[in-house]
Amino acid sequence: MNKLKLQTSIFVLTAFLLGCNEFMIVGIISDLAQSFNGSLSLLGLLVTLFGIVYAGTTPVLTAWTNRWPRYHVLMWLMEIFCIGNTLTAMAPNLFWLFVSRVITAAVAGTIISLVLAFVSLLTPMEKRGMTVAAVFAGFSIATIIGVPIGTMISAAFSWRVSFGVISILSMLVWFLLAKILPRYSEQMAGNLNGQLSMFKDARIVWGIVVMIALMAAEYAFYTYIRPLIVKQLSFSVNQLSLLLGLIGIMFILGNLTAGQLIERYGTQKIGWVSGMVLVLLLMLTLTVKNSWSGLLNLGLLCFVLGMPGSMLQVMFLNTAERDFPMALNLASSLNPICTNIGVTIGSLTASIGIRYIKLAQIGWLGCGYALIGVLGSLSLLKALKRSKAKS
């Protein structure tokens, strides 16, 4: 295994652990409620709180830590993450459980941002798309493999053991990162105003709009993916885990396909991706009348929605590297920030909208966001064309 493949593998493992820590809570929430004698609604706030803290602290912490070498900041944050995760495993009561989740959420976004910054620095331009896509695939793998395994460990032993395993693996990842990352990398120091000047660039602005819009479109239906599969498509509860796994694989395939598209076309296919999301959402109301056509439509939707994250993140990195080098770390944080904002908007839209429409019509809820994604993509492509003409 050459050095780049080894680095990529460790970056993917880092993303996998972060994904397990974030998403595993969903699979064991009933166990947590029983352990602490709390209601499911109260424990459900752990998910909401994590997303709010993640989105709120990531840009601030990423910009603030830009004054220090990336390697040292990443190592410090990995240590804090391990401490927070271990505190979750050992939490004596609900108060400390919530505190532990705040700690891990506060650093998780900046960790993945720094990983992506190292991807930009260590990966040749022609390989960057596939490497970024592989890192994002780590999150999908966490959902497909890590979360079910964590749930199984919780059922067989205890939910505390599930988080304990993550802590042990986190220490291993810390050691591996210490071995493969350069102690000092090219880094331009800049004050906060200098870093924030990046947000005046039309490419960055429209990229953010598209990312948030498409994530909102996704979670406008994905929030209710389980009842959609069981109640609307009439698959059994026993088949649910397998089907969710297959849908997760479609996300991974979308991530990897995006890597190929980036290497060949750059960000030029983002308009096509946004358009496909809109078309598939418009078709969803018709296709869910049949179990298999509905499942195929959902699979295609998840395949296509696995693409924009990698495509836009590479664009953010390339734009910052060329025109805003002092803001490279901050640019690396844009995808996780936009993702959490989009998830919040989409899930809120779904929870409100489902009160007024039938489950079969849930695809309509995301169409407005997908249309914004299409229009934003066209504006982004124009901004990229203007920038290329100037250079």
Residue-level pLDDT at 391: 64
Distance CA 285, CA 360 (A): 6
Let me know: does 128 contact 120? Beta carbons within 8 Å. Answer: yes
Residue-level pLDDT at 66: 81
Instruction: Quote helix, strand, coil % in the chain, to nearest 5.
Output: 85, 0, 15
Distance CA 217, CA 301 (A): 10
Q: Which two tokens stand for residue 374?
A: 């299409």
User: Residue 231 carries which DSSP code?
Assistant: I
What is the pTM (predicted TM-score) of this model?
A: 0.81
Tell me which residue of 308, 305, 250 sits closest to 277, measured CA to CA.
305
Residue-level pLDDT at 69: 86
Buried b (16+ CB within 10 A) or exposed e, 234-251: ebeeeeeeebbeebbbbb
Q: Report the alpha-carbon angle 254-257-259, nearest 5.
A: 115
Distance CA 378, CA 375 (A): 5
Distance CA 370, CA 277 (A): 6
Task: Indicate the burial class of 28 (C-beta count within 10 angstroms; 0-12, 13-18, 19 or more).
Answer: buried
Per-residue confidence of the chain (391 residues) as pLDDT tens digits?
577 788 888 988 998 999 888 878 776 777 888 888 877 667 767 877 887 888 888 888 888 888 788 899 999 999 999 999 999 999 999 899 999 999 999 999 899 888 988 887 888 877 777 888 888 788 777 877 777 787 788 878 888 999 999 999 999 999 999 998 887 766 555 566 667 788 889 999 999 999 999 999 998 888 778 788 888 888 887 787 788 788 888 988 998 898 888 888 888 899 999 999 999 999 999 998 999 999 999 999 999 998 998 899 889 888 888 888 777 778 888 888 888 788 888 888 888 888 888 888 888 989 999 999 999 999 999 999 998 877 6
Distance CA 284, CA 278 (A): 10
Give the side-chain half-sphere CA count within 13 A for 353. Answer: 23
Residue-level pLDDT at 186: 63
Domains and CATH numbers, the chain: 1-185 (1.20.1250.20), 188-391 (1.20.1250.20)
